[in-house]
């Protein structure tokens, strides 16, 4: 057995359209939308009676995907969106960008807020965290080489 790749990262949101718009602004492409329901879906997730709208977003290089989900049923069980960066569990997704300042400017128009500040790590990267749609924690990294 050999691992082939990481297929996608999933994020649950309340406003699927707003999240799609935000991640499009960041540079991801909408690969497709669908409603997932049925007995088979509940067997995979352990949520009987689930009905969820999903949007699959693809990075420009085609290698990575972000699956955005809006649960219609059952209702959302917990909310971790305002957790600080030292909280346990899955926390954020980080994207490599060409120009961190330009990216921040574009995303601020979509409601993004800088968490701390943009910092430089050695001569390698400029980095920051932002709160995106619905308070989602997103990292941005600009390679300096």
pLDDT at residue 3 is higher than 90:
no
Could you tell me if 104 and 67 lie in one domain? Answer: no
Q: Report, as an integer, the average pLDDT of 39-55.
A: 92
Domain contains 40: yes
In degrees, rounded to 5, the angle at the alpha carbon of residue 101 between the alpha carbons of residues 96 and 103 is 55
Say what the pLDDT of residue 82 is. 82
Could you tell me if 104 and 135 lie in one domain? Answer: yes
The CATH number of whichever domain residue 13 belongs to comes to 3.10.180.10
pLDDT in tens, 104-135: 999 999 999 999 999 999 999 999 999 999 99
Rounded distance between C-alpha atoms, residue 87 and residue 84, angstroms: 6
Domain contains 82: no
Domain span at residue 46 reads 9-73
Average pLDDT, the chain: 93
Could you tell me if 102 and 137 lie in one domain? Answer: yes
Could you tell me if 102 and 58 lie in one domain? Answer: no
The count of domains in the chain is: 2
Strands 9-12 and 65-73 turn out to be parallel
Say what the pLDDT of residue 74 is. 93
Look up the pTM and report it.
0.91
Domain contains 81: no
- DSSP per-residue letters across 104-144: HHHHHTTT-EESS--EEETTTEEEEEEE-GGG-EEEEEEE-
Q: Report, as an integer, the average pLDDT of 54-78.
A: 95
């Amino acid at each position: 057995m050999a691992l082939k790749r990481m297929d996608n990262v999933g994020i649950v949101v309340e406003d699927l359209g707003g999240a799609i718009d935000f991640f499009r602004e960041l540079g991801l492409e909408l690969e497709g939308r669908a409603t997932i329901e049925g007995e088979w879906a509940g067997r995979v997730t352990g949520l009987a009676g689930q009905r969820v709208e999903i949007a699959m977003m693809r990075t420009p290089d085609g290698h990575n995907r972000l699956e955005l989900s809006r649960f219609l049923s059952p209702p959302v069980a917990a909310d971790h969106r305002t957790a600080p960066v030292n909280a346990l569990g899955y926390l954020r997704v980080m994207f490599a960008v060409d120009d961190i300042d330009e990216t921040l400017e574009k995303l601020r128009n979509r409601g993004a807020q800088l968490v701390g500040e943009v910092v430089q790590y050695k001569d390698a990267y400029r980095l920051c965290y932002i709160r995106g749609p619905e308070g989602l924690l997103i990292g941005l990294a600009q390679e300096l080489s």
